[in-house]
Amino acid sequence: MTAIRTAGRTAARTATWTNWAGDRTSHPTSVVRPRDEEEVVRAVRTATERGLTARAVGSGHSFSDLVCTDGVMIDLSRMNRVLSVDAHHVTLQAGITLRELGPRNAEHGLSLENQGDIDAQTMAGALATATHGTGRAFGNLSSRVVGMRLVTADGTVRQLDRTTTPELLRAARVSLGALGIVTEVTVSCVPAFALRRVDRPRPLDDVLAELDQLVDTHDHFEFFIWPYTRTAMTRTSTRTDEAQIPTPHWRRRLREEFAENTVLGALCRVGRRFPSLVPTVNATIARSMSESRVEDVAHRVYATARKVKFTESEYAIPRRHCADALTACLDLVERQHLPILFPFEVRFTAPDDAYLSTAEGRETCYLAAHQYRGMDADPFFRAFEDVMVTYGGRPHWGKRHTRTASDLRPLYPHWDDFAERRTELDPTGTFANAHTRRVLGTHDEVVTR
């Protein structure tokens, strides 16, 4: 086994990386695990000198091949410190996970403005893919970024902020890792708050009839609907500054560990073994749903345990198309008799202005489709994608889709602005891989456009 030394660390040439879902595997020439920006700089310069590409990797929670590389993989997981807190601005190393950041923010009486229902992602990975939560008044995570430090292809470190480099920051906030390696992020936080979350099953027809009211009158609203059923599980969360008596840990553990993971996993295994039983399995899940409540500090309420593995596709569509698009997706599953064991998930966010944000310039509904591990997802995701395209859908950058640069360019008003920054910061494609060449175009295409 041959090894190479990069940034002071040794890694095997036969390194293998696999994502959380277990359906994406990469064989990089080397894996580098830097502890600070200086080591990132050395890793990038070494890759460039050797004619290798470099891709950053976080916790592997993307479902696409976004980070896969046969070059140098730069694992940021050791760069997980909070560096400074200045009023409501928190500067942190880019490899910190959302799960690690929550309690560290709380020590300073602060919280992220919003976040999603999985907190395993690193900050850099969440930003690069426009990761989001739900709530019509709140943008995705990248919308709260006020500064970044970025290592570019020649090893130069660029300091980006809203005052001196506003357009570069708009490009870098959601970049797919195509502009460089983010080492530090400064994010605007808010005073710590608590959430009161209520999960309640309701008839889907009622939810769709009242959809605008539900979205507009709750701080955070989302819902889940299993194919072959007509009962939605709604989730509403209300923000409060009042001190909360946290929901007992054992009660949450019982529901999330047992009902939402152990029981769900068992039912999914039955459905995978006997696909014809999927409608019955889903109906069983729908009948078992019941109301539950959780109260605690925000970062403990947003995220839930996800131990049943799956793969996912998600599209951002204009909010006004939500009901029609969801109805079309449910119809296609039933019409094609697809064995889908996971629910559609529906969320909402405010517009923002990052060049490649999936919510850029429009109020957005996110519609996510899932498939249980070990089951063929491709026919379902292709059909799902066809529906999303008819509604002007933009694919989530960290999830599965087949769209290409020529498909995507018309959907983003600032696509060419991003391409110009990409050419400026990475003129030779140091940070490119097969995925970025597909979805952003090759460097030759960008330069000659």
User: By the 8 A CB rule, do 398 and 64 touch?
Assistant: yes
Partner residues linked to 26 by β-bridges: 17
One-letter amino acid for residue 129 of the chain: T
pLDDT score at 254: 67
Q: Residue 57: helix, strand or coil by DSSP?
A: strand
Question: Tokens in use for 85?
Answer: 């807190």
Beta 54-57 vs 72-75: how paired, if at all? Answer: parallel
CA distances (Å), origin 44, targets 40, 68, 80, 347, 449: 6, 16, 19, 37, 27
- The pLDDT assigned to 189 comes to 98
Beta bridge partners of 135: 349
pLDDT score recorded for residue 243: 64
Count of beta carbons in the 10 Å neighbourhood of residue 330: 19
| Sheet hosting strand 310-318, strand order edge to edge | 292-297, 194-203, 231-240, 220-225, 344-349, 364-372, 310-318, 394-395
Integer Cα distance of 196 and 206 in angstroms:
23
Q: Cβ contacts of residue 240 below 8 Å, gap of 6+?
A: 193, 194, 195, 196
Distance CA 431, CA 396 (A): 20
Strand partners, 296: 195
Beta bridge partners of 186: 91, 147
What is the per-residue pLDDT for 425? 96
DSSP string of 360-373, one letter each residue: BTS-EEEEEEEEET
Q: Is 312 exposed, middle or buried (0-12, 13-18, 19+ CB in 10 A)?
A: buried
Contacts of 166 (CB under 8 A, 6+ apart): none
Structure pTM?
A: 0.94
395-419 as b/e: b if 16+ CB within 10 A? bbbbbbbebebeebeebbebbeebb
User: Could you give the C-alpha distances from 417 to 171, 344, 370, in angstroms and in order?
Assistant: 8, 33, 33
Q: What is the DSSP string of 106-162?
A: HTTTEE-S---S---SBHHHHHHTT----BTT---GGGGEEEEEEE-TTS-EEEEET
- pLDDT (0 to 100) of residue 21: 93
Distance CA 104, CA 81 (A): 9
First-to-last CA distance in the chain? 43
DSSP state of 246: P
Q: Under a CB-based contact definition with an 8 Å cutoff, are residues 335 and 327 in contact?
A: no
The residues, ordered by sequence, that sit 6+ positions from 437 with a Cβ below 8 Å of its Cβ are none
Query: CB burial class (10 A; 0-12, 13-18, 19+) of residue 432?
Result: buried
Per-residue pLDDT of the chain (449 residues; tens, 9 = 90+): 333 333 434 444 458 999 999 999 999 999 999 999 999 999 999 999 999 999 999 999 999 999 999 999 999 999 999 999 999 999 999 999 999 999 999 999 999 999 999 999 999 999 999 999 999 999 999 999 999 999 999 999 999 999 999 999 999 999 999 999 999 999 999 999 999 999 999 999 999 999 999 999 999 999 999 999 999 999 999 999 876 677 777 677 666 776 778 889 999 999 999 999 999 999 999 999 999 999 999 999 999 888 899 999 999 999 999 999 999 999 999 999 999 999 999 999 999 999 999 999 999 999 999 999 999 999 999 999 999 999 999 999 999 999 999 999 999 999 999 999 999 999 999 999 999 999 999 866 654 45
Q: What pLDDT is attached to residue 110?
A: 97
169 with 145: CB under 8 angstroms? yes
436: number of Cβ within 10 Å: 24
Are 77 and 67 contacting, i.e. CB atoms less than 8 angstroms apart? no
Contact predicate 198/381, CB 8 Å: no
Q: For 158-297, where are the alpha helices, taking DSSP H only?
A: 166-172, 204-209, 211-217, 249-253, 264-273, 278-288
Q: Is the dihedral of CA 387, 282, 237, 295 positive or negative?
A: negative
